[in-house]
Structures are given as C-alpha cells and as structure tokens.
Amino acid sequence: MTTARRDTYTPETLLSVAVRVFNERGYDGTSMEHLSKAAGISKSSIYHHVAGKEELLRRAVTRALDGLFGILDEEHARVGPAAERLQYVVRRMVEVLIAELPYVTLLLRVRGNTVTERWALERRREFDHRVAELLKAAAADGDVRGDVEVRLATRLVFGMINSIVEWYRPDGRGMSEREVADAVAQLVFGGLRKEG
C-alpha cells in the first residue's frame, strides 16, 4: 500500500489513471494494488471513491459510449438524406475516438469476462447496429453501393475507424482530429481510386 500523496484526488482524476493502467496492463491483469500504486493513493482511498475496479471500468466505458451515442443525437445525424447523415456520423466517430482516445481504446479492448464488459459489448453492438441501419437506408436510397453486404461493409468501415486507436498519438506533432476525419471520410466514401 502506498501512502496518500495528495488528498485532492477526485473521481475524475482517479478514472483517468485507472484507464491508463487498464490500457497498459489489460483490465484482467490490473489489480487494486496496481491502481493504488499508479494513482499514488492508498487502496482505502480508492474504495472511498468507488466500489472496486469494475466500477472504474463501467465509468470509463460509459464515457466512451456516451460520446459515441451522443453523435447519433446530433442534428446532422438525425436530419437529411441517410448518406449525408452517415458521412456526418463517420467523421464524428473519428473525432470522438480521438477526443476520448484512452476511453474508446479501453472500450474496444473489452472482452466480456464480467457483467460490465458484457454490457459494454452489448452497447457497442447496439451502436454498430444503428450505423448499419444508416448504411442500409443510404443503400436503399441508391446513394451508396449496394454490392457489398451491409453488415460486412459496416464491420470493415468500423475496422478502419477503430484502428486509429492503435497508432494515433495526441502529441501535438501529428495530425489533427480534423485531418484524420477528412482522410477517413474520403477513403470510406470515395476509396483510393482517383475521382472524376
């Protein structure tokens, strides 16, 4: 056990430390001892804030899921032709993924060993389904290609977007959220082939 270094610890700062450790060691491989050491506060101080590591996981993935589902409530995701709404959602997914990088990274690594993990997987599937529905509607409108099966296309597009967590580093030297979002939108909708 480590002695408390600061008594100004908030649930918010504890959460960000926990997410970092979960992403480094894996959720299963993280003990309360690891969290206590990383946060520099005692285990009993952590228990003052949360019931245990599963609550930290739930809060973290909730933050990622709220960010993603929030996109679907935005006006441009609700109003207009399906193809335009889809394009908007794809761009915003990239932006949210980068803005909430450690939280979305954790969400994407969830495996399903605990109730919280299974709930997170279920919510992810629900989000995927909502986007697949948008793609289906756009195909029905004749605005996107109909020759690639909707579920497969959705999986591949999510694969491209989600892969960003593997290499994007918010170090200020790299690309901005907007540049990555532009590139993803261009590739997802136009492909590599030169236009015109």
Shortest Å distance, C-beta 89 to its own copies: 12
Where along the sequence are the contacts to its own copies (CB under 8 A)? 26, 29, 86, 135, 138, 142-149, 152-153, 155-164, 166-167, 175, 179-180, 183-184, 186-195
Least distance in angstroms from the C-beta of 179 to its own copies: 8
The smaller minimum CB distance to its own copies, of residues 98 and 188, is found at: 188
Distance in Å, CB of 38 to its own copies, minimum: 18
Choice between 38 and 185, CB closer to its own copies:
185
From residue 130, alpha-carbon distances to 8, 13, 150 in Å are: 40, 32, 12
Tell me the closest approach of the beta carbon of residue 29 to its own copies, in angstroms.
Answer: 7
Q: How many CB atoms lie within 10 A of CB 52?
A: 11
Q: What are phi and psi of 162, to 5 degrees?
A: -65, -25
Q: Which is nearer to its own copies, 11 or 29 (CB)?
A: 29
Rounded distance between C-alpha atoms, residue 33 and residue 94, angstroms: 34
Question: What are the backbone dihedrals phi and psi of residue 24, each rounded to the nearest 5 degrees, phi first?
Answer: -75, -45
Tell me which DSSP letter residue 7 carries. S
**Please, are residues 8 and 87 in contact by the beta-carbon 8 Å criterion?**
no
Shortest distance in whole angstroms from residue 188 CB to its own copies: 6
* Residues contacting 30, CB < 8 A, separation 6+: 18, 21, 22, 53
User: Looking at beta carbons only, is 25 or 43 nearer to its own copies?
Assistant: 25
Query: Which CB atom, from 71 or from 97, has the smaller least distance to its own copies?
Result: 97
Q: Are 24 and 60 in contact (CB under 8 A)?
A: no
